[in-house]
A and B are shown apart, each in its own frame.
Chain A
Amino acid sequence: MNNLLVMPLLIPLCTAVLLLFLKRNIVLQRSLSLIGLLLHAATSFMIVYQVHNEGIQTLHMGGWAPPYGIVFVADSLASLLVAATSIAGFFCLIYSFQSIGEERERFYYYPLFQFLLVGVSGSFLTGDLFNLFVCFEVMLISSYALIVLGGTKRQLRETLKYMLINILSSTLFVATVAYLYGVTGTLNMAHLSIRIAEMQQGGILNAIAVLLMIVFAMKAGLFLFFWLPGSYSAPPAAVAALFGALLTKVGVYALIRSFTLLFYHEPSISQGLIGWMAGATIVLGSIGAIAFSDVRRILNYNVIISVGFIAYGLSAATRAGWDGAVFYLIHDMTAKALLFILGGIIVQLAGTSNLKEMGGMIRRYPLVGWMFFVVSLAVAGIPPLSGFAGKLLILQGGLEAKQYVLAALSLLSSIVVLCSLLRIFIAAFWGEEKPCPEGAGERSIVARSAVAAAGGLLVLIVAMGLGSEWVYGLVEQAGHTLYTPSQYIESVLKEQ
């Protein structure tokens, strides 16, 4: 029992409720949400430390022992992802101070931001399938509100579609939970794992596994990503950065958890089907990333490619592949936040998101330009930046599992990623300087403080790349826990 585990939910929840009463005082709202995030980060790092030294931590809600009560479980994977969440959230918050605008700040932007964090942290930490659904819903409802906040025509239109897709997938999720409960009689993940192993996954359990995969793939943007490019380009850049960094990753986490802990007995699903979907996602995402000439669209397709890449690591089902998937997941949460923040700054400075209408900004904004260049390299996986180790491990795992076609595809996708991001760099920063857009003087002041947020993240990414060895120590433990589900099961179901 470790009461610390509930703090990553409780802190943002209390902050959000407090903020609801401070609608008028924006300065107080900003400082309180910053304090909330710092506390969130502090507790999540403490959990990482404890898990690393003392093994998996659990918390039985209300003292009900599992499998009857709701249990919270922090293994290495969950704790690392919560820590990455607070890092990405922290910098997105700093960026939104400058970019989100007073109108949105006054209409509950900060409380919604905190509620989103509640949902995301809860999804990572919970050890109960139905509780996962509830945390998903907390996250989704705040994301609906965040995406439509501001109420422009485009936001309204895209939110309708985004909501419909998610209502549908949530409905399917509950149906899957119902089937699973009907077949196994439990919803605690550790207990489920035992029951599924006892029943020799097959027949109806395979059907349930595929349903669960469809649900999570829809949330993660794995193959079923048709909704993603449109909805993520509707909200302002700070919200898009938060979504790009966190939302799809929660779906990916759910996929990893359910196919390493629950349904790992049937390789044709957990390796074959997911591998096939990963390949298709990588190819289609790559096509999208080079086809469009709109900064936001290109970045959205990059999110899709990275989801495919992590799923490829998952489908390899080897130690190296899963280590790599975890490593890349953590890298991707920070790198995508940075990429979207920089993309937002570029769009703001240029006054347009169309590549053909920008140019020559390197003279006025050299720092932004070079930061974008470095993060492009990091996302493409060039050493010594943080994307490299994850990609290397995933490829190693894929080759061990003899998935040569997928390995080739994922290598090619790295080139496409680099190419698509360098296209933004070249179009925005090289060439003839375009005439100064209106109010550019004001914009450059705005940019300076946003650049500070981006700079902080960039330092982290470089540090994560240089300290890969140290990060790998943490990641390896997560991979080990994924590879031996009995470890997870024992620590949840052990007698207190």
Chain B
Amino acid sequence: MELYMSLAIGVLFTVGVYLLLSKSLLRILLGTSLMTHGVHLLLLTMSRLKTGAAPLLGEKAESYIDPIPQALILTSIVISFGVTSFFIVLAYKAYQKLGTDDMEQLRGDGDE
């Protein structure tokens, strides 16, 4: 199971980096959120995947998995949700005001 997860994370990262390197702002945005997903799955995988075990079932539970990574993922999801929504608004506002979403044209002329 860990192997498949690692492959999925690898694919998410690859696609994320590919999108991040493109010119269009919207693609870049999708790239960052795909990479964030990849990172969250990575956190999940790091706590060792066990089938059928829940994180917290009291002291008498037969098997349980480490709850900390799940708490970390939850925190990280909330943060990335906030950041992504801010970024979308910013991108929209920038598109309205600057009239382009092409990063090549958003380069700026160094000394102004």
List the interface of chain A (C-beta within 8 A of B): 130, 133-134, 137, 141, 144-145, 148, 151, 153-154, 156-161, 163-164, 167-168, 170-171, 174-175, 177-179, 181-182, 187, 230, 292-294, 297
Contact = CB atoms under 8 A, between A and B. Distances in A.
Interface in B79-94: 79, 82-83, 86-87, 90-91, 93-94
Contact of A157 (B32, B36, B72, B94): B94
8 contacts: A130-B75, A134-B79, A157-B98, A161-B106, A163-B83, A168-B20, A178-B39, A230-B108
Contact of B108 (A151, A154, A174): A154
B97 interface: yes
A163 B87 contact: yes
Contacts of B54: none
B82 to A, nearest CB: 7
Interface string B35-54: 11001101101110000000
A171 B32 contact: yes
Contacts of B79: 134, 137, 170
Contacts of B69: 178, 181
Interface of B: 20, 25, 28, 32, 35-36, 39-40, 42-43, 45-47, 68-69, 72, 75-76, 79, 82-83, 86-87, 90-91, 93-94, 97-98, 106, 108, 111-112
A220 B6 CA distance: 31
Q: Which 4 A-B pairs have the closest CB atoms?
A: A182-B46, A156-B94, A178-B43, A178-B42
A174 B9 CA distance: 14
Contact of A175 (B42, B82, B91, B106): B42
A351 to B, nearest CB: 15
Q: Is the interface of B mostly helix, strand, loop or mixed?
A: helix
A139 B4 CA distance: 36
A137 to B, nearest CB: 5
B32 A167 contact: yes
B23 to A, nearest CB: 13
- Residue among A153, A163, A174, A297 with most chain B CB within 10 A: A174
Given A156-B90, A167-B87, A174 B32 contact: no
Given A156-B94, A181-B68, A174 B76 contact: yes
B46 A153 contact: no
Nearest to B44: A178
Nearest to A161: B106
Contacts of A230: 108
A133 B25 CA distance: 26
B43 A153 contact: no
Contacts of B36: 171, 174
Contacts of B43: 174, 177-178, 181
B83 A137 contact: yes
Nearest to A167: B32
A141 B76 contact: no
Contacts of B42: 175, 178-179
B66 to A, nearest CB: 8
A137 B82 CA distance: 10
B86 A134 contact: no
Contact of B46 (A160, A171, A179): A179
A141 B90 contact: no
A230 to B, nearest CB: 6
Contact of A160 (B83, B94, B111): B94
Contact of B39 (A154, A158, A171, A182): A171
Contact of A130 (B35, B72, B93): B72
A164 B30 CA distance: 12
Contacts of B25: 160
A178 B72 CA distance: 9
A178 B46 contact: yes
A322 to B, nearest CB: 31
